[in-house]
Structure 1
């Protein structure tokens, strides 16, 4: 008996569904699982986990912080790149702040204040400089580690003589990073004031910092994922003396350890060299343990 055309179409569709369910829903996933069990690949398939003393301490693909309970850097360890996600794999994210983020949101309640990207960079650079004993100054940063930006008010808005100048990222009791601008005294900002809406022209001030800062860019900016496990060789280099001092080790020996944990560009030309911080710190604990 010949089946109706509509029923034949439904049966053909059902057969296709069953075939592709078996192929793509069962056979293909099981084949990938089998490939992932190959001895040379099983570590990557399991998440590139790193073990020390019989315990899993992290992944080679996910960074982590090396700080104490109060969030302060532990001096005997190399420090990771800043993270906008707090190195939480379930909250991977970027700050979504761009180069035009130079004005802090200053509220009466400090907990509600939000630093601009410029101030975050300045604060991090100052902190790294103090921790590692290098020059933490950067262009467009104040000595106290906030963005050096002024709201300049002019008679005709964008033109004419300057009538008022406000250091938008500094509040009392700070001292303005510039005493005056074009002959007009610089004021401190007041919480809750919107100087852009009031007609101020935001003017970053470069200052006298070196054009090539001693603190590398990856030490003061977060990665796109917030989970970057690597730092640049330049950032590792400025940390060598501190780590060696804290561990009572020869800086040259620590530097050789850094070199052994530095990977080059992918295929020789993609990306930049990097140092895996977790692997390096584990190697330090093994070779130069602290009492």
Structure 2
């Protein structure tokens, strides 16, 4: 039998490689990983975070609350918000990351009967940010861009210039962005106001769990010490003994509370 030309043999080898890799990586591997993931999550639903809110999205007071989720704890929509620390100015169609954090902190503070104040946040729960004009040189105008009129600006003056409230629809892009730290000390932990990278994190910090313990104990008619003991029992250590921080599995903790 006549030997095939080398260029045909090369194309046939490439075709076989494509077929084999397609079967292995495009079919077998996805099926295997999906099966393993389903088995793990079916056996241990505590691997996925859940919300403990009512039909209107309000926290159910007798339960520990999970950290915020940009994905709504939907495994098919797992994602972060992709917003970073420089996202501090609200726009007509989107709330900045800073204002989201400030609003969450106020809400958590109200729920837990503690101060929801934190640096770079106004008392009404938006980012404490000024737009200063001109962008360079001595200020002649300052606007609290995240506080729409007729709101009272969180500071009266900036470098001798009266601070205005923000006028909806006015373009402040030409101004210099100046976040104002203020003197607040945060009581509400960071994981109570920021979402995880996956949006599916089932854990909260020990500090956030301890902050919620008095409310949960009160709502359930339990001693706070008993609730704190359950927190300790459902606290996991650092991964590999040194990575990250200890965490409390919220689903497992709430399930233990329901079992009494």
**TM-score between the two structures when normalised by the length of structure 2:** 0.87
Q: 2:168 aligns with which of 176, 180, 191?
A: 191
Q: 1:172 to 1:284 in 2, by over 3 A?
A: same
**TM-score between the two structures when normalised by the length of structure 1:** 0.78
* Residue of structure 1 equivalent to 2:114: 134
Q: Please say if residues 49 and 60 of structure 1, whose CA atoms lie closer than 8 Å, have aligned partners that are also in contact.
A: no
Root-mean-square deviation (Å): 2.9
5+ unaligned residues in a row in structure 1: which ranges?
A: 37-41, 52-58, 108-112
Q: 1:60 aligns with which of 26, 30, 46?
A: 46
Q: 1:164 aligns with which of 141, 154, 163?
A: 141
Matched, 1:209 2:184: yes
* Residue of structure 2 equivalent to 1:284: 257
Q: 1:49 aligns with which of 35, 39, 42?
A: 42
5+ unaligned residues in a row in structure 2: which ranges?
A: none
Larger radius of gyration: 1
* Residue of structure 2 equivalent to 1:251: 224
Moved over 2 A (4+): 2-10, 47-51
SS in 1 for 2:165: strand
SS in 2 for 1:246: helix
How far apart are the structure 2 equivalents of 1:168 and 1:63?
A: 35
Query: Aligned ranges for residues 1-291 of structure 1 at < 5 Å?
Result: 2=1, 4-5=3-4, 46-49=39-42, 59-105=45-91, 107=92, 113-154=93-134, 157-160=135-138, 162-197=139-174, 200-210=175-185, 213-287=186-260
How far apart are the structure 2 equivalents of 1:6 and 1:273?
A: 64
How far apart are the structure 1 equivalents of 2:52 and 2:128?
A: 30
- Please report how far the alpha carbon of residue 9 of structure 1 lies from its aligned counterpart in structure 2 after TM superposition: 5.0
Q: Please say if residues 97 and 117 of structure 1, whose CA atoms lie closer than 8 Å, have aligned partners that are also in contact.
A: yes
SS in 2 for 1:257: helix
Instruction: Output one character per residue of 1:86-121: Cα deviation in whole Å (capped at 9) or x when no partner.
Output: 11211111111111111000x3xxxxx311111011
* Residue of structure 2 equivalent to 1:56: none
| Number of matched pairs | 254
How far apart are the structure 1 equivalents of 2:2 and 2:83?
A: 64
- Please report how far the alpha carbon of residue 24 of structure 1 lies from its aligned counterpart in structure 2 after TM superposition: 5.3
